[in-house]
Every structure is written in structure tokens, then in C-alpha cells.
Amino acid sequence: MISSELLGAFQGIFPGVITTVSKENIPNLSYISQVHYIDNEHLAISWQFFNKTYKNIQDNPNFSVVVTSPTTFSMWKIDMNFIESLTEGDLFDEIEMALEAIASMYKAEDIFKLQAIMIGKIVSIEQQFDGYEN
């Protein structure tokens, strides 16, 4: 179940991280900007710079994402299986459009060029820290 608090953490106000495992069994840890909600079982991550992460996923489709809520500091770890990488479609267009809009404001078209979006199926969600005061 993805609560509105968790949805808020997807916005990337505090950048989240993604971990993947190489075929030599070495963990790779990169920062991500946003996680995009698709439905209660699927999430997407937009892709502008990471090559090692993508390479690892080809070898091992298991990856994890840790996100933080900017309002409560609650943190979640979400384990996922890679399904596919998209370079077109409604979701790709929507994310690409948002990035293009930002790029146009800061004249930084090459920096905000969307390479692809990675779709993952949620395996588990673990709340690492509950920031709400009781």
C-alpha cells in the first residue's frame, strides 16, 4: 500500500538512492532525482546519467530504492524487479515534457535530456524510519 506520505517522498525533494548489484557481487549506490508512481505495484525511475546502474540491472534485475519524506523524514526501502526500460509512451512523454520544461527555463537542454525510464515491479516496501511523532 502506497500512502500519500510515501508518494510525497517520491518527489525527490531529498534525493533518494538506488542500489544495484554487479555480476561480481559488488553493490553500486547512486542518487536518483525522482520516483514516478505508476500504480500500487509498479514504479518508474527516470534516467539521465547512470550507466553502471543500468549495466548492473542487465546482469541482475533486482534493485532497491530508498526515499525520504521531506515533511516527516520517514524513510522507506523498496525492493523491485526490473521489468523494462522505455524510451516512448505516455509516461515517458509526461516525464520528458516536465524535464524539457525545466531545461527551457535554465537553458540546460543537454543536462535534462531524458535517456529512458526504468519500470520496476515492487517486491516489498519496508519503512525504515517513521518520522511521525506519537
Point out which residues bind other proteins (CB under 8 A): 4, 7-8, 11-15, 17, 19-21, 25-31, 33, 37, 48-52, 60, 62-64, 66, 68, 70-73, 75, 77, 79, 93-94, 97-98, 100-108, 110-112, 123, 128-129, 131, 133
- The alpha carbon dihedral of 52, 59, 114, 17 has a sign of negative
> Maximum Cα–Cα distance for the chain, whole Å?
46
Bridge pairing between strands 27-32 and 16-21: antiparallel
Q: Which is nearer to other proteins, 24 or 84 (CB)?
A: 24
Q: What is the smallest separation between the CB atom of 101 and other proteins, expressed in angstroms?
A: 4
Q: What is the Cα gyration radius of the chain?
A: 15
